[in-house]
Amino acid sequence: MLLQHYSILHTVPAWLLLLAGALWSWRKRKLTPAGVITGAITGTVIFISTGYPGLVMLTSFFMAASAATKWQAAKKADVGNQHENKTGRTATQVLANGGCAAALGILALIWPTHLNLIMLMMTGAFAAATADTLSSELGMVYGHRFYNILTLKNDQRGLDGVISLEGTLIGLAGAVLIAGIYTAFCGWSVQFAYIIVAGFLGTLTDSALGATLERRGILGNNMVNFLNTAVGAAVCYALY
């Protein structure tokens, strides 16, 4: 377990970061009170199981997602972003993006001998979550032409399952960010590419589910987001 390599003194910054993140999220209304509690528990599980690598990836995803959501919010409101929550993200939304990583953290505590694989899978989940959030939020701002992911025909900006070239490239940049964090802690290897592929395929899966099951009301956005992260983790498992 990675945390065993840290002394009590070395873990203090992590607990301070979790506390500061919870207070900031509450004061800025990034999360509802239930979302703050759920996020704090999720962060604790991830840090206890994987140490600073997992915590830094979680923090990077949350900060990037918050910034992307806020960026030119008025412009995005013009298309009626039905997934936006003015009072902050709920506990369910937190689990939709971080629940898979937290579950993998619990597995790492149960099977510490498989920590390397589980850590890679967790990274794939974060890469998918980051890529999907950045591509959807910033794609609506910087995209020029929008297509239905299944038919590749022109479609309305902001609808489920609609993508743009610009949004896709921004999403890939998000996956590269998470892959870079993993590499900084775990060293350079072909797994850098695995993580980027996981982020990309997770985002495509999210869009495909959005264009089909979500538009028909069979799946909600939170479940689609969770499946996106699960696919990211599964891709890393398959490539490992």
Report how many domains make up the chain: 1
Task: Report the pLDDT value the prediction gives residue 74, as an integer from 0 to 100.
Answer: 73
| CA dist., res. 235 & res. 240, Å (int) | 8
pLDDT digits (tens, 9 = 90+) for 54-65: 999 999 999 999
pLDDT digits (tens, 9 = 90+) for 131-165: 999 999 999 999 999 999 999 999 998 899 999 99
DSSP state, residue 2: G
Closest by alpha carbon to 49, among 116, 125, 126, 97? 116
Within 8 A by CB and 6+ apart from 62, the residues are 21, 39
**What domain range includes position 63?**
2-239
| CA dist., res. 35 & res. 179, Å (int) | 26
Mean pLDDT to the nearest integer, 98-114? 96
SS3 content of the chain, % helix, strand, coil (to 5): 75, 5, 20
pLDDT digits (tens, 9 = 90+) for 168-180: 999 999 999 999 9
Mean pLDDT to the nearest integer, 23-42? 90
Closest by alpha carbon to 16, among 34, 40, 35, 46? 40
Task: Report the pLDDT value the prediction gives residue 81, as an integer from 0 to 100.
Answer: 54
The Cα-based distances of 98 to 104, 120, 152, 158, 214 in angstroms read 10, 15, 30, 23, 20
Task: Report the pLDDT value the prediction gives residue 73, as an integer from 0 to 100.
Answer: 79
Single-letter amino acid, residue 92: T
Write b or e for each residue in 111-140: b if 16 or more Cβ atoms lie within 10 A of its Cβ, otherwise e.
eeeebebbbbbbbbbbbbbbbbbbbbbbbb
Average pLDDT over all residues of the chain: 91
Say what the alpha-carbon torsion angle 131, 156, 81, 200 is, to the nearest 10 degrees: -10
User: Is the pLDDT higher at 3 or at 6?
Assistant: 6
| CA dist., res. 212 & res. 159, Å (int) | 11
Task: Report the pLDDT value the prediction gives residue 55, as an integer from 0 to 100.
Answer: 95
Task: Report the pLDDT value the prediction gives residue 8, as an integer from 0 to 100.
Answer: 62
Task: Report the pLDDT value the prediction gives residue 16, as an integer from 0 to 100.
Answer: 87
CA angle centred on 123, ends 229 and 197, rounded to 5°? 75
164, 191 in Cβ contact below 8 A? no
pLDDT digits (tens, 9 = 90+) for 181-238: 999 999 999 999 999 999 999 999 999 999 999 999 999 999 999 999 999 999 999 9
Assign 87 a pLDDT band (cuts: 50, 70, 90). Answer: low
Within 8 A by CB and 6+ apart from 157, the residues are 79, 140, 143, 146, 164
